[in-house]
Amino acid sequence: MTATSVLRPDVVVVGGGPAGLTAAAALAGRADVLVLDRERATGGIPRHSDHTGYGLRDLRRVMTGPAYARRLTDRALRAGAALHTEATVTGWTGERTLAVTSPRGRYEVEAKAVVLATGARERPRPARLVPGDRPAGVYTTGQLQNLVHLHHGSPGTRAVVVGGELVSWSAVVTLREAGCATVLLTTEHPSPESYAAFNAAGRTVLGVPVATRTRVVRVVGKGRVSGVEVEDTATGRRRTVDCDCVVFTGDWIPDHELARSAGLAMDAGTRGPLVDTALRTSRPGVFAAGNLLHPVDTADIAALDGRFVADRVLDHLAGGGAADPRGVPLVADAPLRWVAPGLLRPGDPAPPRGRLLLWTDELVRVPRVVLTQDGRELSHRTLPWPASPGRVFRVPWSVVRRVRPGGGPVHVGLA
Amino acid sequence: MTTDPSAADRAGAPGAFDVVVVGAGVVGAAIARDLAGHRLSVALVEARDDVGDGTSKANTAILHTGFDAKPGTLESRLVRRGYELLSGYAAETGIPVERVGALLVAWTDEELDALPGLRDKAAENGCTRCEIVSADEVYRQVPDLGPGALGGLTVPDESIICTWTTTLALATDARARGARVLLGHRVTGVTEGPDATVLHTTRGDVAGRWIVNAAGLGADVLDRMLGYDRFTVTPRRGELFVYDKLARPLVDRIVLPVPSSRGKGVLVSPTIYGNVMLGPTAEDLDDRTATGTSEDGFAFLLDKGRKLMPKLLEEEVTATYAGLRAAIDRGDYLIEADADRRYLLVGGIRSTGLTAGMAIAEHVHGLLAGAGLALEPRADLPAPPRMPNIGEAFTRPYQDADLIARDPEYGRVVCFCERVTAGEIRDALASPLPPAGLDGLRRRTRAMNGRCQGFFCGAEVAARLAAGAPPCASAGRPAAETKEDAR
């Protein structure tokens, strides 16, 4: 066998999306940084989200996804980070050593610190257990946008979009640009999950019929999609909607393979690696950032995770930043599905942007957030914004008070 | 030469093949390969656009020892023989096989009581290494099994295999030996002549002195076209879940239920691609095209899975699919030659056909020789093909530093979840039997078979498929030959 070459940067960042690129830009100059990205170009999902709305919170200006991807890439390069594209991390060969395959060869990267920023993907149809035929014309938003914006292909002429999250409207916009009408958008919730403004715009500007309390029960078509059968979950009534493509949107899951294959402690709620508020995973020197931790928040929030984690990584490189073993888990109670970060350690900083990120399965218009530990209420706070399914519910860090180190799990619930 | 409309009138004229095998599933491909090793002209006629695209693509992909076959049946004999033949052929051609072994698990007293009988039957079938084990041993072997197991029977030699590569290797080999592979030729009618039988197909006539019917789900239809009325194929749908590779540590061997009168039941098994499979269901249908999955099937599998291995259900499902077994109304294979009419039927080949395929070919060979077909071996046979490895347990191109150094396309990962490289996709498109579409490419490379189902790579894979083989790669390899043949 050819001797495997080994690169030894201070920090290796896996994933060149908003979180990874921003972390790299913040670290470069202060440490030797290498970003590994498996795609042909860095930038992550914004590369093929060809609509505006990117950059608000991190760059303080708004631009399209592709422009945002280019800007983050340029910034990381200018700062002095090395970016390897078409570089697929295939596994771990040491505590902080990764095996990489690229057209330039197979190599290893041994670093003093690793930042996992591998992002999230939408659950495809099989994972949602939607039965029926297996025709062509079934997409996720990711595949659709890749097809339309990077490959200039045609998805079809009549689409059903499954899901009412922010990303679902992004799919509708992409379909329209590709000359494909959205004949129905379905959501299992009583109302679409994204911001009301989007829903109003979607219905009026885009003219998309929305079916709430509706689930897709079957895909129909030999060779090519000819329709989907949908069920009104209130009445049980079913009907078939004619279409030639169907887009399964949202329902995000972290791309957590590297975290799991490392044997890192995992968060049962987010299904990403379990991290504390310093974004440390259970392995010293291995950090995580972005939508791998909170599937999914917007790209700018992921980017700000990246900026935040850079200082924690520098602490680690300087020999500090050891984790206090008296951490207590932070656990979400129904209707909350998850909370991130999931571990509270004494002496740790507040999480990125001073916010806990949560996900709810039910709409709560005036949420009263209650924290308890060992049956004792620690704090409560009524927030003026709703907890809405399909997007992250952000809670100020100041609700986390009076936590007893070494005590039982802290529960966060809605009352 | 195969499409001359006057072929029927001239039956027996030079246009006829010596043997036409109908059905390019694993059985038909194995038969065509065997026959093409002799001084014969052979055609392999397939209704679909690809080999192995019917029942052969959607089975449980187990290389069976035949431990639970009914002793004395043709099936039991051919499964045992096929296990040997295919194991050897797999080693020669690079078809991935893993000898993971199986564990039959008894969940009721009745099932526990059946184990000694099964062990004895296994011994009669030549499987002498099977052992009855305690419940403790069952949980030692499969710690994540659900509660309630009472005991088990080990079947050490039961193996998993790549069903896709198997059919493709046999068909590629048949073609290299000179057999004509005629894809997209659906047989619509038959005219018998004095010296040859003409099959009318959707792409013209194909005449053969001998006809071998290995048409699987359509075997009874073709049999009736030839005037017989001896069996009916009842498609039995089997639905399966394929779980994410991250579930693989839960299951390191095939976990089988104790067979009952209702069939073999639901199993949990590793797949050769590093996933975990749960299934199949068993549901008799009338519709031979009903390869869709169903709500009832899913509910049944989830219920079974919850009992068999609750932790498995916490993992993501990567794929769901349904296959149709060509079940017939008798308990054994139905393989009969009619010397007068120069016709041979291979019917009733159930899921064991993957294992038995090469032995069925050997058996068919004997029957044809007995019926008067001259089978003179050729001395100039090409070496069997070396198939690209798509098995997880063996080195794949993305792991091979030397290969990548020689050809960087093997370092260019296109499908991230399954780690399929541009080099492998290029090779598949330039291969002697190239894929007819995305599904064919999936079966040859695993591209898009992973957990994201195309979220990241779907558009890229489709673009590469549409671009086709690079001109230099296909030079001298007429990838479009099957289409030429159709004219």
How many helices (H) and strands (E) would you count in chain B? 14, 22
Using an 8 Å Cβ cutoff, are A290 and A20 in contact?
yes
Looking at chain A, which residue has its C-alpha nearest residue B464?
A151
Return the bridge partners of B201, or none. Answer: B187, B204
CB contact under 8 A, A127 and B412: no
Res B213 pLDDT > 50: yes
Distance between CA atoms of residues A116 and A309, nearest Å: 11
A56-76 residue pLDDT tens: 999 999 999 999 999 999 999
The CATH T-level fold of domain B1-98+158-232+329-391 is FAD/NAD(P)-binding domain (3.50.50)
Helical axes B74-93 vs B353-370, angle rounded to 10°:
110
Please tell me if residue A205 touches chain B, with a CB cutoff of 8 Å: no
Q: What is the DSSP code (8-state) at residue A276? A: B
ipTM of the complex: 0.94
Type of residue found at B78: L
| Exposure on the CB side of residue B205, measured as CA atoms within 13 A | 20
**CATH classification number, A5-121+253-323, choose in 3.40.190.10, 3.30.1130.10, 3.40.50.360, 3.50.50.60:** 3.50.50.60
Helical axes A65-79 vs A299-317, angle rounded to 10°:
20
CB contact under 8 A, A121 and B455: yes
Q: Which of A379-393, B93-107, B360-374 has the lowest mean pLDDT?
A: A379-393
Residue B478's pLDDT band, with cuts at 50, 70 and 90, is very low
Cβ neighbours of A90 in B, within 8 Å: 398-399, 419
Write out the CATH class of domain A344-414: mainly beta
pLDDT value of residue B6: 46
Distance between CA atoms of residues A3 and B407, nearest Å: 17
Using an 8 Å Cβ cutoff, are B459 and A150 in contact?
yes
CB contact under 8 A, A146 and B459: yes
CB contact under 8 A, B462 and A142: no
Measured CB to CB, residues of chain B less than 8 Å from chain A are 242, 245-246, 289, 291-295, 297-298, 302, 316-321, 398-402, 404-405, 408-409, 411-413, 416, 419, 421, 438, 451-456, 458-460, 462-463
Return the bridge partners of B241, or none. Answer: B278, B320
Res B14 pLDDT > 70: no
Q: What is the CA radius of gyration of chain A?
A: 22
pLDDT value of residue A194: 58
User: Between B294, B416, B458, which is nearest A131 by CB?
Assistant: B294
Res B33 pLDDT > 80: yes
Please tell me if residue A108 touches chain B, with a CB cutoff of 8 Å: no
CB contact under 8 A, A101 and B398: yes
CA distances from B283 to B235, B288, B352, B388 (A): 8, 12, 18, 35
User: Between A38, A136, A153, which is nearest B416 by CB?
Assistant: A38
Catalytic residues of B: 64
Q: Give the residue-averaged pLDDT of B12-30.
A: 89
- Three-state secondary structure call for residue B158: coil
Res B406 pLDDT > 90: yes
- For chain A, give every residue range classified as CATH 3.50.50.60: 5-121+253-323, 124-250
Q: Give the residue-averaged pLDDT of B55-73.
A: 93
Q: Give the residue-averaged pLDDT of B410-419.
A: 97
- For chains A and B, CB pairs below 8 A equal 128
A47: left (phi over 0), alpha (psi -120 to 50) or beta: alpha
pLDDT value of residue A77: 98
**Six-digit token pair at B77?**
């004999």
Q: How near does any CA of chain B get to the CA of A101, in Å?
A: 6
Burial class of A112 by CB neighbour count within 10 A (0 to 12, 13 to 18, 19+): middle
pLDDT value of residue A390: 84
Type of residue found at B380: D
pLDDT value of residue A206: 73
- Could you tell me the CATH superfamily of domain A124-250? FAD/NAD(P)-binding domain (3.50.50.60)
What sign for the dihedral angle of Cα B11, B17, B19, B24? negative
Looking at chain B, which residue has its C-alpha nearest residue A259?
B246
Q: Which residues of A296-332 are buried (b: 16+ CB within 10 A; e: fewer)?
A: bbbbbbbbbbbbbbbebbbbbbeeebebeeebbbbbb
pLDDT value of residue A274: 98
Distance between CA atoms of residues A164 and A156, nearest Å: 20
Residue B468's pLDDT band, with cuts at 50, 70 and 90, is confident
Phi and psi at A96, nearest 5°, equal -135, 35
pLDDT value of residue B289: 84
Q: How near does any CA of chain B get to the CA of A114, in Å?
A: 20
pLDDT value of residue A192: 65
Cβ neighbours of A257 in B, within 8 Å: 245-246
Using an 8 Å Cβ cutoff, are B144 and B312 in contact?
yes
- For chain A, give every residue range classified as CATH 2.60.40: 344-414
Cβ neighbours of A146 in B, within 8 Å: 456, 458-460
Cβ neighbours of A153 in B, within 8 Å: 459, 462-463
pLDDT value of residue B473: 44
pLDDT value of residue B264: 64
Q: Give the residue-averaged pLDDT of B434-460.
A: 94
User: Would you mind telling me the total number of residues written for chain B in this entry?
Assistant: 487
A282-324 residue pLDDT tens: 999 999 999 999 999 999 999 999 999 999 999 999 998 889 9
CA distances from A279 to A272, A290, A308, A310, A339 (A): 12, 10, 9, 10, 13
B144-166 residue pLDDT tens: 999 999 999 999 999 999 999 99
CA distances from A325 to A17, A345, B223 (A): 31, 7, 74
User: Between B321, B411, B458, which is nearest A101 by CB?
Assistant: B411
pLDDT value of residue A200: 64
Using alpha carbons only, what angle is made at residue A257 by residues A252 and A259, rounded to the nearest 5 degrees? Answer: 105
Please tell me if residue A260 touches chain B, with a CB cutoff of 8 Å: yes
CB contact under 8 A, A103 and B412: yes
Res B12 pLDDT > 50: no
Distance between CA atoms of residues A216 and A128, nearest Å: 10
B169-202 residue pLDDT tens: 999 999 999 999 999 999 999 999 999 999 999 9
Question: In 10 A of CB A106, how many CB atoms?
Answer: 23
Using an 8 Å Cβ cutoff, are A22 and A306 in contact?
yes
- Interface-testing mutation among B403, B456, B457, B464, with chain A (most A C-beta atoms within 10 A): B456
CB contact under 8 A, A124 and B292: no
Res B263 pLDDT > 80: no
pLDDT value of residue A199: 63
Domain boundaries, chain B: 1-98+158-232+329-391, 99-157+235-326, 397-486
- Could you tell me the CATH superfamily of domain B99-157+235-326? D-Amino Acid Oxidase, subunit A, domain 2 (3.30.9.10)
B298-322 residue pLDDT tens: 999 999 999 999 999 999 999 999 9
Cβ neighbours of A1 in B, within 8 Å: 401-402
Cβ neighbours of B448 in A, within 8 Å: none
- Interface-testing mutation among A88, A139, A224, with chain B (most B C-beta atoms within 10 A): A88
Res B487 pLDDT > 70: no
Q: Give yes or no on whether B1-98+158-232+329-391 and B99-157+235-326 have one common fold.
A: no
Q: What is the CA radius of gyration of chain B?
A: 23
Q: How near does any CA of chain A get to the CA of B446, in Å?
A: 16
Q: Can you list the residues of chain A whose pLDDT is less than 70?
A: 1-3, 192-205
Helical axes B422-429 vs B438-445, angle rounded to 10°:
120
Return the bridge partners of A412, or none. Answer: A332, A371
Please tell me if residue A85 touches chain B, with a CB cutoff of 8 Å: no
Helical axes A65-79 vs A18-27, angle rounded to 10°:
20
CB contact under 8 A, A151 and B292: no
Q: How near does any CA of chain B get to the CA of A127, in Å?
A: 5
CB contact under 8 A, B409 and A1: no
Q: Tell me: cis bond preceding A296? Omega within 30 of 0 counts.
A: yes
Q: Give the residue-averaged pLDDT of B454-481.
A: 71
Helix H or strand E encompassing B484: helix B481-486
Distance between CA atoms of residues B391 and B100, nearest Å: 13
